[in-house]
Structure 1
Amino acid sequence: MNYQETLHYLFTKLPMFSRIGAAAFKKDLTNTIRLCNALGDPQNKFKSIHIAGTNGKGSTSHMLAAVLQEAGYKTGLYTSPHLKDFRERIKINGVMCDEDFVVDFTERIQPLINEIEPSFFEITVAMAFDYFAKHEVDVAVIEVGLGGRFDSTNIITPELSVITNIGWDHMNLLGDTLAKIAFEKAGIIKKNIPVVIGEAIAETRPVFDSAAIDSPIVYAEDHLYVTDWTLQNHLLTVEVAEKKTGTHHSYQLDLPGIYQTKNLLTVLQAAHQLHMMGWRTGTETVRKALPHVKRLTGLHGRWEVIHEHPVVVLDVGHNIDGMTQINKQIELSTYHRLHIVIGMVKDKEIDPVLGLLPKHATYYFTQAQIPRALGAEDLLAAANKHGLKGNTFKNVNAALQDALSHAHKEDMILVCGSVFLVGEVTIL
């Protein structure tokens, strides 16, 4: 098989959550263990940092990877899903894995695929671990795909575990209370391995404390808080104070979403914990890395401005908490008229998310080209109940083209609602 044939095989042969949803999620690590055993257990051949959470785990993973790269470590980064290129999932120092490796790996593991019928995600996790081991990375930042306890990534024993926050997402798989969701995320906590919690509430903190009974646990919000922030030229400057000493530090991020202030505290506390363990992740290294996260790691889709006059923004926020943060960012933005291109998937909390969106915007309802996508007409019908008005379009690029044709130079166009929708934007 060549590379394109290999991708076709991976996308169509294997159960893929982004395509079919819950049917592809297995509450069992057996297949991942079998795959990695066959590969010589590559997950044990490099050091790792494990990151879970409802929102912010992607941004946090990329920021922490940037810090480690800035410190001089050969740094692997495994994230999901991808936006444009499958190989975005597996990077070393910001460079995507080789096409030849994807082909070779798939051919090597194909007999076992036929035998155990793993999911797409189980294969990609094993692929990432094999790639990082073969290239002898110093450390790999591993982002959880879904949940934590039964996520395929959860066969590693990391240097540090990180849980960004707990919110409402994937309740059909993780539970119908925040405590139940927290329990699943807390499944990445390992005995005697430190864990950093970004945000916790009264309902989730006891869950984390219980899960970390044999592990050092640190809550970032108990040690740090944001005193101020400014946004200028798509750069976010954040003033952070230490609660114990009152010491202030200023950090500049090339990720302009205001919600990154929360992720920043998680990253700072994680870097501090690593520094105390002997890693070169002190304050100055962090300060040098954060203005260059996109360049160092290739992160996209987090309040990403891809066009000026009119401003066109891409954001992968799609659940209740993510859309709440997007709405706050909209309120802080300056524009003449607001245009929102939106598409969602069927298994999300559609009504609560739509209820958060501004009624004064003009909407362009569309859908990603995947089976899980909610049809544009169905989305329009649901949106109308919340007073959101607009037209439907067959795909995101047709919707965005129409928005551009109606927007003035001082307007803002936002594309959001689904990672897959954002990934299909090609016209700019």
Structure 2
Amino acid sequence: MSRLVPSATATLQDWLAYLETLHRHPIELGLERIGAVAAKFELTYPYVKITVGGTNGKGSTCAMLEAILLASGYKVGLYTSPHLIDFNERIRINGELATDHQIIEQFQRIESGRGDITLSYFEYTTLAAFMLFEKHGLDVAVLEVGLGGRLDAVNMVDADCAIVTSVDLDHTDYLGDTREKIGWEKAHIFRAGRPAICADPVPPQSLVDYAGEIGADLWLFGKDFNYSGDRLQWAYGGRSQRRSGMAYPALRGANQLLNASAALAAIEALRPQLAVPQQAVRIGLAQVSLPGRLQILPGTPAIILDVAHNPHAAAALGQNLDGMSYFPSTHAVVGMLSDKDVAGVIAKLASRVTHWYCAGLEGPRGMSGEDLAAIVRQVIATRAGKESLETLSREVVRDRQPSTVEAPNKPGVRTVAVTPPAARSVVVTSFDTPVQAFTEARKQATDNDRILVFGSFSTVGPVLNELGRKVI
């Protein structure tokens, strides 16, 4: 790959393409490289810093914190990853996306000062966000941890408060294959003597132990903070603060009160530094938005977008789908990365889907549509072997080898019909791209059906873009 430094007239896309060529590995955890480059710029991080890690729920918690703090009148920076459509989504200042010019300016500074130290794409862009935040004189920055915690680039800063939303299996090649191992990695965003919020109802003991070892001020859900609610409103209760009579957050999903309570616990813990009135909490929770997280678009057929890409998130998505009204058929557009627990994700949703549209994803980690379709068929077959005859009468399964045919006038599109006796058929079709898969789903779905798009940011983003929806 070329490593020619972008010119003075280079676009943001030119720069991002360049960053992908700099480091020998797309993902290489560690703080030495980014720490060394940051030291050259003498960053001081002169604002309140809240880091948010966890397996799922990070994006929602960050979005709620940003909305509440903005409603309180603070100048707020938000750094998240990955993005759905445009890279600029990752860096927000006072609720506005960073401009191409602002980002490129920081890239140019890093390039001129990093010397012979190579940075990964994520390290480079994380440092650019920190530099941009320092330039704009923020009051507070909300920082989403990218992968794990201990060696993630965001962990180069000493957070004034750290949140771990949940701990479950994901990125096992990097973080370990048990909740205890992963919990230990995520716990390293905690700091001695500072608030450490854990919203996982059953936290790994490794997380609790690490917080004790370093002397962090550990806040546990169910012990130090909690929530309650009825059909109309909910309440937060912390160590010494209660917020009651609140409307439910604008974000949909069964776990959003858990995420909201974690955000409010952090705000309570930071009261000496951040004053947040009750009205700001109400306004923030009412106005918060986060595309791609149980996002339901208006119109018919119903279209649901969710970036669920691990079994834990897929299980929550399944529960949320069950809470919706009745739909005769569910058409699922799915695309996944090959290093995920693909079968585990599909298994959580298999009983709810009648038509599968398996999309290929680009890049070295992307999985082809045909390979994904093969896993979907295997999951269906496995379910057929385990479920009772009563369940088989209700669910779509396979009890014989499926027939595979080339779709007419659609080169590269393969359709597999799986038809067991005494059950409706499920159709599994593979496509080259998420947009192609979604287009076909729109053709096949009736106005009374629903279309679910899930599996990855790289699946939801292109479909959202195709629909002309901007992420703001």
Determine if the TM-score, normalized by the shorter chain, exceeds 0.5.
yes
Please give the per-residue CA displacement for 1:243-301, whole angstroms capped at 9, x wherever unaligned.
889985333211112221221221221222223x241224332122101012xxxx311
- CA distance in structure 1 between the partners assigned to 2:254 and 2:14 by the alignment: 38
Shift of 1:136: 0.4
Identity percentage over the alignment?
30
Does residue 415 in structure 1 map to residue 453 in structure 2? yes
CA contact (8 A) 1:199 1:221 kept: no
Aligned AA for 1:328?
A: Q
Please give the per-residue CA displacement for 1:314-346, whole angstroms capped at 9, x wherever unaligned.
111111111010010111111232111000001
Does residue 9 in structure 1 map to residue 15 in structure 2? yes
Give 1:390's match in structure 2, choosing from 413, 422, 428. 428
Which position in structure 2 is the counterpart of 1:341? 333
- SS of the residue corresponding to residue 28 of structure 2 reads coil
Give 1:283's match in structure 2, choosing from 259, 278, 282. 278
Aligned AA for 2:210?
A: S
CA contact (8 A) 1:3 1:99 kept: no
CA contact (8 A) 1:271 1:282 kept: no
- CA distance in structure 2 between the partners assigned to 1:69 and 1:354 by the alignment: 38
Q: Which has the larger radius of gyration?
A: 2
Which position in structure 2 is the counterpart of 1:427? 466
Which position in structure 2 is the counterpart of 1:316? 307
Name which of structure 1's ranges 104-113 and 52-61 shifts more when overlaid on structure 2. Answer: 104-113
- CA distance in structure 1 between the partners assigned to 2:110 and 2:238 by the alignment: 51
Q: After the TM superposition, which residues 29-44 of structure 1 pair with which residues of structure 2 at under 5 Å, given as runs?
A: 29-42=31-44, 44=45
- CA distance in structure 2 between the partners assigned to 1:301 and 1:287 by the alignment: 23
Task: Go from structure 1 to structure 2 and tell me whether the alpha carbon gap of 1:99 and 1:300 turns closer, same or farther (over 3 Å shift).
Answer: same
Q: After the TM superposition, which residues 156-305 of structure 1 pair with which residues of structure 2 at under 5 Å, given as runs?
A: 156-201=157-202, 204-213=204-213, 214-228=215-229, 230=231, 238-240=233-235, 242=237, 248-275=244-271, 277-294=272-289, 299-305=290-296
- CA distance in structure 1 between the partners assigned to 2:75 and 2:243 by the alignment: 31
Q: After the TM superposition, which residues 63-102 of structure 1 pair with which residues of structure 2 at under 5 Å, given as runs?
A: 63-102=64-103
Task: Go from structure 1 to structure 2 and tell me whether the alpha carbon gap of 1:16 and 1:348 turns closer, same or farther (over 3 Å shift).
Answer: farther
Aligned AA for 2:265?
A: Q
Task: Go from structure 1 to structure 2 and tell me whether the alpha carbon gap of 1:89 and 1:56 turns closer, same or farther (over 3 Å shift).
Answer: same
- SS of the residue corresponding to residue 7 of structure 1 reads helix
Shift of 1:399: 1.1
Task: Go from structure 1 to structure 2 and tell me whether the alpha carbon gap of 1:2 and 1:93 turns closer, same or farther (over 3 Å shift).
Answer: same
Shift of 1:8: 2.7
- CA distance in structure 2 between the partners assigned to 1:174 and 1:339 by the alignment: 33
Task: Go from structure 1 to structure 2 and tell me whether the alpha carbon gap of 1:408 and 1:269 turns closer, same or farther (over 3 Å shift).
Answer: same
Task: Go from structure 1 to structure 2 and tell me whether the alpha carbon gap of 1:37 and 1:380 turns closer, same or farther (over 3 Å shift).
Answer: same
The aligned length equals: 411
Task: Go from structure 1 to structure 2 and tell me whether the alpha carbon gap of 1:340 and 1:65 turns closer, same or farther (over 3 Å shift).
Answer: same
Which position in structure 1 is the counterpart of 2:416? none
Give 2:444's match in structure 1, choosing from 395, 402, 406. 406
Name which of structure 1's ranges 83-92 and 216-225 shifts more when overlaid on structure 2. Answer: 216-225
Shift of 1:304: 0.9
Please give the per-residue CA displacement for 1:356-390, whole angstroms capped at 9, x wherever unaligned.
11334211110233331111000000100112642
User: CA RMSD of the aligned region, Å?
Assistant: 2.3
Please give the per-residue CA displacement for 1:211-240, whole angstroms capped at 9, x wherever unaligned.
34412111133244454465xxxxxx6523
Which position in structure 2 is the counterpart of 1:381? 374
Task: Go from structure 1 to structure 2 and tell me whether the alpha carbon gap of 1:124 and 1:260 turns closer, same or farther (over 3 Å shift).
Answer: same
Shift of 1:111: 3.9
- CA distance in structure 2 between the partners assigned to 1:212 and 1:189 by the alignment: 10
Aligned AA for 1:354?
A: I
Which position in structure 1 is the counterpart of 2:49? 48
CA contact (8 A) 1:310 1:408 kept: yes
- CA distance in structure 2 between the partners assigned to 1:114 and 1:374 by the alignment: 36
- CA distance in structure 1 between the partners assigned to 2:261 and 2:371 by the alignment: 39
Task: Go from structure 1 to structure 2 and tell me whether the alpha carbon gap of 1:159 and 1:244 turns closer, same or farther (over 3 Å shift).
Answer: closer
- CA distance in structure 1 between the partners assigned to 2:361 and 2:448 by the alignment: 28
Does residue 356 in structure 1 map to residue 317 in structure 2? no
- CA distance in structure 2 between the partners assigned to 1:35 and 1:282 by the alignment: 39
Name which of structure 1's ranges 209-218 and 73-82 shifts more when overlaid on structure 2. Answer: 209-218
CA contact (8 A) 1:272 1:282 kept: no
- CA distance in structure 2 between the partners assigned to 1:252 and 1:4 by the alignment: 45
CA contact (8 A) 1:11 1:120 kept: no
- CA distance in structure 1 between the partners assigned to 2:437 and 2:22 by the alignment: 26
Give 1:326's match in structure 2, choosing from 317, 323, 347. 317
Which position in structure 2 is the counterpart of 1:368? 361
- CA distance in structure 1 between the partners assigned to 2:372 and 2:17 by the alignment: 26
- CA distance in structure 1 between the partners assigned to 2:431 and 2:143 by the alignment: 36
- CA distance in structure 2 between the partners assigned to 1:136 and 1:244 by the alignment: 31
Aligned AA for 2:462?
A: E
CA contact (8 A) 2:22 2:119 kept: no
Task: Go from structure 1 to structure 2 and tell me whether the alpha carbon gap of 1:258 and 1:76 turns closer, same or farther (over 3 Å shift).
Answer: same
Per the normalisation by structure 1, the TM-score is 0.90
Name which of structure 1's ranges 6-15 and 141-150 shifts more when overlaid on structure 2. Answer: 6-15
CA contact (8 A) 1:3 1:102 kept: no
Task: Go from structure 1 to structure 2 and tell me whether the alpha carbon gap of 1:16 and 1:253 turns closer, same or farther (over 3 Å shift).
Answer: farther
- SS of the residue corresponding to residue 348 of structure 1 reads coil
In the alignment, structure 1 segments of 5+ residues that lack a partner are: 231-236
Aligned AA for 1:416?
A: F
Aligned AA for 2:168?
A: G
Which position in structure 2 is the counterpart of 1:233? none
